[in-house]
Amino acid sequence: MEEKYYEISSDNIEKFVNNLVAQNNEVIAPKDKDGDTFYDKINDFKDADLNILLSKLSFKEYLLPKTETLFEYSISGSNINILDPLENTVGNGETDVSANGGIGSGSESSRKKSVKRIIFGSRPCDAGAGPIMEKVFNWDYKDEFFNEKFKNLYIISIACVQPDNYCFCTEAQLSPESSYGSDILLKKGGSGYYAKVITEKGLELINSSSENAGLFKEIPKETFPADKDWKAAFDIKKTQGFLDKNFTSGYFQEKFLSCIGCGICTYTCPTCHCFDIQDEGTNEKGKRIRNWDSCQFGIFTLHTSGHNPRVTQGDRYRQRLMHKFKIYNEKFNKYLCVGCGRCSRNCPEDIDLKEITSELSLMESSAGD
């Protein structure tokens, strides 16, 4: 669709969000929890913490839950019934017991497919992670669990005014004001916000009621504030160039001696998507679940034979860099990183991804001189 532009006052943006809540939508926003900020359901605009730069985690878990039930089963004699969360029924048309507090009660599953979730107050880096992950979950097999959630996810992001020292979204093909992945992008200005509506889903939210539509005043494109001239501090393509030619470089073993393999970098990353699948249950009933996993764990690539192709943390962190800045780009012409800096902020050993990618870029430049 052709982008539309609006302005809305601070008072009206509050009314807009509260109206969305009142319409029985699940509105998710950055929310304070004991001094840290996480994405969580809000019941009122005032519950949202919009003053922080970034929440501790992204909203990835609303697309790829930490633990997700793929299906459940029950066994009676020679009969096996598969309970499909996507359909909420078993093979004979009975109601899925998990939807009524059965064996799946309390676990996240795609049985909530009809829920419209609205992410309010995300940053452009988090919004940009959605379409990046979408490519992964659709390139050879369409993952309906992911797709159902993504289809029902509406993203209202707020542009950043000033990134911090860990941010490098500009180098990662985005910017602090990028609208990539957003349905509506808000920019602070005047007596409230300017709004750019990028998708039909964004327009749907504004037109969800006559009251909501009346809160927004349409303006010409020229009135919408232009993006700042954000300058990249280094060339990420040169980072990729180094990785192309230096798989066996001693750099990785030396640089990542301090890595303890805790996996916090992958769990806080908006685009990391490794998972493991386990079966849990008894002889009568059980379920198959998908859980977050991490390429930074030694057991991730451990073979039954005892052999491990990535035996050191240097090997494992090299894989992380290769996947984000080489392998994914070769397939999708995009980087598997939005430059949010969460991995660096949360690393107990102060391993700084911005510093590393910049260093590799400079090393590649020096090698070409």
pLDDT-derived band at 114, boundaries 50, 70, 90: low
Tokens encoding 285:
């009933």
Rounded Cα–Cα distance for residues 352 and 216 (Å): 41
Contact, 360 vs 234, CB < 8 A?
no
pLDDT-derived band at 263, boundaries 50, 70, 90: very high
pLDDT on residue 369: 64
**What burial class does residue 125 get, using C-beta atoms within 10 Å of its C-beta: 0-12 exposed, 13-18 middle, 19+ buried?**
buried
User: Which range (60-64, 175-179, 193-197, 281-285) has the least confidence?
Assistant: 281-285
Contact, 208 vs 23, CB < 8 A?
yes
Rounded Cα–Cα distance for residues 48 and 181 (Å): 21
Q: Half-sphere exposure (CA, 13 Å, Cβ side) for 42?
A: 26
pLDDT on residue 100: 33
Q: Is the pLDDT of residue 105 over 90?
A: no
pTM for this structure? 0.90
Rounded Cα–Cα distance for residues 72 and 64 (Å): 18
Check residues 22 and 89 and name the one with the higher pLDDT. Answer: 22
**What burial class does residue 123 get, using C-beta atoms within 10 Å of its C-beta: 0-12 exposed, 13-18 middle, 19+ buried?**
buried
pLDDT on residue 110: 47
Work out the widest C-alpha separation in the chain, in whole angstroms.
Answer: 73
Compute the average pLDDT of residues 332-337. 97
CA distances from 147 to 62, 88, 114 (A): 11, 17, 12
pLDDT on residue 84: 80
Contact, 133 vs 146, CB < 8 A?
yes
Q: Is the pLDDT of residue 301 over 70?
A: yes
Mean pLDDT for the chain overall: 92
Contact, 17 vs 120, CB < 8 A?
yes
Q: Is the pLDDT of residue 12 over 80?
A: yes
